[in-house]
Amino acid sequence: MRSGRSAVEDLTARARIRDAAVARYARDGFGVGLRVVAEDAGVSAALILHHFGSKDGLRAACDAHVLATVRDAKERALASTSAPDLLLQLASMDEHASVVGYALRSLQAGGDLARHFVDQFVADAEVYLAHGVAAGTIRPSRDEQARARYLTVQGLGALLLDLTLNAPTDPTDLVGLLHGYRDRMMLPAVELFTHGLMTDNTMLDAYLLYVSDPPSGPDAARSA
């Protein structure tokens, strides 16, 4: 027979376990056992199994939560048109330190889950980029799906490389990691996204001509 826990208590415990798992996995990786997560959340390992079925089930719930958090943050950032809104978002970056750390751990772990994680990032990016295009805050693209994938891979890859080149003294200091990356990368990134890099269409026109009219001749024959 079911204990006296209410549905609200169950929901609260589930969220507490999930948040504790995201924070712990972000700091120490996915090799952490359920007992450690249970201790962080102040519950029993049995309760984790009750809510999530297995460690894989907990990981899937963490993935879903992190993706939803990133999606919400991106949508709000792209929808912001005032300086005060953007400054408030920058000031609240510390709240997302565990989410960033979790994303990095997922990418470092590799495998099918990491690929699925990136694919979901790309799918979400397509949605919020489309919202930005519709709102007039983002320029349209010739290939919206390709742009979403490029921006996702570029962003996550830059974060991974920056972490490798500028490894924090304390690898568990996720807030410090996030601040360092922001200080090094935010200005050039925002400037580039706002004003672009090239002053004319020469390179784009040349590339479009190339892909629409494949090269011919001996080299093309050898590659056929």
The residues of the chain scoring below 70 in pLDDT are: 1-11, 75-95, 171-172, 213-224
Query: CB atoms < 10 A from the CB of 221, how many?
Result: 8
For the record, the structure tokens of 24 come out as: 């712990």
pLDDT, residue 95, reads: 66
Q: Which of 159, 164, 48 is nearest to 97 (CA)?
A: 159
Q: What is the pLDDT of residue 213?
A: 65
pLDDT at 148: 93
Q: For residue 93, what is the DSSP state?
A: G
Q: Are 55 and 78 in contact (CB under 8 A)?
A: no
CA distance 175 to 166: 14
* pTM of the full structure: 0.68
Query: Three-state SS for 77?
Result: helix
**Residues 98 and 26: beta-carbon distance below 8 Å:** yes
pLDDT reported for residue 71: 77
Q: Where are the domains of the chain?
A: 62-217
- Give me the numbers of helices (H) and strands (E) for the chain, helices first please: 11, 0
The topology (CATH level 3) of 62-217 is: Tetracycline Repressor; domain 2 (1.10.357)
What CA–CA distance (Å, rounded) separates 23 from 122? 23
